[in-house]
Structure 1
Amino acid sequence: MKIHSQRDFTAGLLFSAFGVAFAWGATTYSVGTGARMGPGYFPLIVGVLIALLGAVITARALTVPTEDGEPVGAIAWRPLVFIIGANLLFGVLLGGLPGIGLPPMGMIVAIYALTLIASLAGDQFNLKGVLILATVLAIGSYLAFVVALNLQFPVWPSFIVG
């Protein structure tokens, strides 16, 4: 069988692998039934759907011809480092690192840091646009998670609110 699109074939395999891993990890939780869903139900369904999507993309890469075979290009290291780094920093700022004495900085600071650092992954940087986006995300997250869902986690740094 000939691979017509290397890019789609690789992407499909990655989708399938991550979907299977996600679904497998979800089985460690109680899945429940469709009527009484457990904490593992949604991650299991999402993992299965991602794996199926990957299988469709892989099959399409094997059946739909392309002109040049769409080779896989070089890894874009800059976006990869900034996006992963932004997400790691978000988690650290949101929950803190007690091992080194870093207190939780709260959701608002974490969202601003995430947005600013992730925006450095692109070719262009517009500080005004990034700050507007961070503000909209912070307000929306506050309204959705703290006000609407009543989730209890730090919104502001602990040294500000006491």
Structure 2
Amino acid sequence: MPSFIRHPKDFWTGIIFLCIGLAAIIIGLDYSMGTAGKMGPAYFPTILGGLLALIGLVAVGRSFFIDGEPIGKFAVKELVLILTGVLLFGVLIRGAGLVAATFALILFSAYASTKFSWRNGILLAAGAATFSVVVFVKLLGLPIAIIGPWFGG
């Protein structure tokens, strides 16, 4: 890492934000923008992409002036566990239902933590599943099975 970068974490976080923000803007170029009163399909991703790129630019700029700690080891096990939880959620949501998919997501993601305990993981999963059912199924009326057809729902 060059010596003029004083905060490597801010630098690389800013680069990632900048790349994702610019990608959203570039993808939005293929769609019509519209106006603030009548937004086109490119309006929202372009505005959010611009804001994300701006945040990234600020983070990169800060990395040259503020001292910070170096980047630690890359957490492969944790990354794999969290991505597995997200993929399981996508696979389970239709067949097993919202409750089972939420439990899989929360437990796999929580297991990635060094402070994981089964008791807290299950309590968190139960709370998140209850919240999801109340908000998305009951209040918003989304057509998501609470208990999926794999479990007779």
Q: 1:73 matched to which residue of 2? A: 72
- What is the distance in 1 between the residues matched to 2:72 and 2:62? 19
Q: 2:58 matched to which residue of 1? A: 56
Q: 2:92 matched to which residue of 1? A: 93
- What is the distance in 2 between the residues matched to 1:28 and 1:73? 39
Report the alpha carbon displacement of residue 119 of structure 1 after superposing the two structures with TM.
Answer: 0.8
Q: Secondary structure at the match of 1:75?
A: coil
TM-score (norm 1): 0.79
Residue-pair matches, total: 150
Q: Which runs of 5+ in 1 are unaligned?
A: 96-103
Q: Which amino acid aligns with 2:135?
A: A
The CA RMSD measured in Å over matched residues stands at 2.3
For the structure 1 residues 133 and 24, does the alpha-carbon distance in structure 2 shift closer, same or farther, using more than 3 Å as the test?
A: farther
Report the alpha carbon displacement of residue 91 of structure 1 after superposing the two structures with TM.
Answer: 0.8
Taking the TM superposition and a 5 Å limit, the aligned residue runs for 1:106-121 are 106-121=97-112
Q: 1:154 aligns with which of 142, 145, 148?
A: 145
For the structure 1 residues 116 and 27, does the alpha-carbon distance in structure 2 shift closer, same or farther, using more than 3 Å as the test?
A: farther
Q: 2:10 matched to which residue of 1? A: 8
Report the alpha carbon displacement of residue 158 of structure 1 after superposing the two structures with TM.
Answer: 1.1
Q: Which amino acid aligns with 1:129?
A: N
1:85-118, CA deviations, whole angstroms, 9 ceiling, x for partnerless residues?
A: 11111111114xxxxxxxx211111000101111
Q: 2:38 matched to which residue of 1? A: 36
For the structure 1 residues 141 and 40, does the alpha-carbon distance in structure 2 shift closer, same or farther, using more than 3 Å as the test?
A: farther
Q: Which runs of 5+ in 2 are unaligned?
A: none
Report the alpha carbon displacement of residue 71 of structure 1 after superposing the two structures with TM.
Answer: 2.6
TM-score (norm 2): 0.83
